[in-house]
Amino acid sequence: MTMSPPALSGQSHRMLNKVPEVTIYFWIIKVLCTTVGESFADYINETLGFGLTNTTLLFCAALATVLVAQFRLRRYVPAVYWLAVVLISVVGTLLTDQLTDGQGVPLWISTTVFAVLLAIVFAVWYGRERTLSIHSINTRARESFYWLTVLVTFALGTAAGDWTLDLTGWGPGPSVLLPAGLIVAVVVAWRFGAGPVLSFWLAYILTRPLGANIGDYLASSRDEGGLGLGTLGTSVLFLAGILIAVVYLTKTRKDRTELVYHGTEETQSIT
């Protein structure tokens, strides 16, 4: 596939997209990561008794370390990329929990604040780069915007999902249906011509409450309408799923999108 080239300075050079191609594998691992974000945060915070503040500091430090490794890479590496997503899913959950449980901020306010923050990030990103597409995350600036957006979407998805549960009073099982239905609606809208960038980010946000609600359903006791796996069992199950998927993608390279610049021509190859 041949595209118009970006401005290049001087001699030919090669750049690789730092994020995976959006395939079914992408969405499966994304949901697995969001489930882990909910269940693992609860396990460390509540079951092990680390406390909300200590748990937040622990995972923020781990996320910072992995992001440093991610930014130093010159291409997409599945293990590092998805480890960053797992940790961001945990941190995004904890940020909302800090506001709600630690500071007593109502969920509707948290949802509004994160929605406004996301709009600001998008506006600055587009104003600087003239695109919000994830198919050309090949500069440090774009990668910075990308990861900041991912973090805010996780926090927003957590706040909006929890707020919805408070408003509806639904149990662990039925609560899965709303985000799943909204994701289906986004896919249908995309099929009928909705913008792909908007559709992607809407689906990305909605997978957060979907994954969290799946995690709650699996972890909650049978008396509460769940399957009774507990937060540890759910975390281990989904982390194993992520590991298997990442190993598969590392070997098959099915989610690689490489951008190769040849002087006056940009070629996008999907392998």
Residue identified by tokens 């989610």 is 255
Instruction: Please give the pLDDT value at position 80.
Output: 96
Give, as one character, the DSSP assignment of residue 257: E
Domains of the chain, residue spans: 2-270
Distance, CA of 214 to CA of 10 (rounded, Å): 51
Instruction: Please give the pLDDT value at position 260.
Output: 38
Binned average pLDDT, 10 residues per bin, the chain of 271 residues: 37 62 92 86 84 91 96 92 94 90 91 94 94 86 94 90 86 85 95 91 90 85 83 89 94 74 35 30
- Tally of residues, the chain: 271
Instruction: Please give the pLDDT value at position 258.
Output: 57
Quick one: tokens of 61? 């430090």
- Strand order, beta sheet including 265-270: 2-3, 265-270, 257-262
Quick one: tokens of 18? 């730092």
Instruction: Please give the pLDDT value at position 262.
Output: 36
Instruction: Please give the pLDDT value at position 42.
Output: 82
Instruction: Please give the pLDDT value at position 189.
Output: 96
Instruction: Please give the pLDDT value at position 2.
Output: 34
Distance, CA of 215 to CA of 218 (rounded, Å): 5
Instruction: Please give the pLDDT value at position 212.
Output: 83
Residue identified by tokens 């500071």 is 103
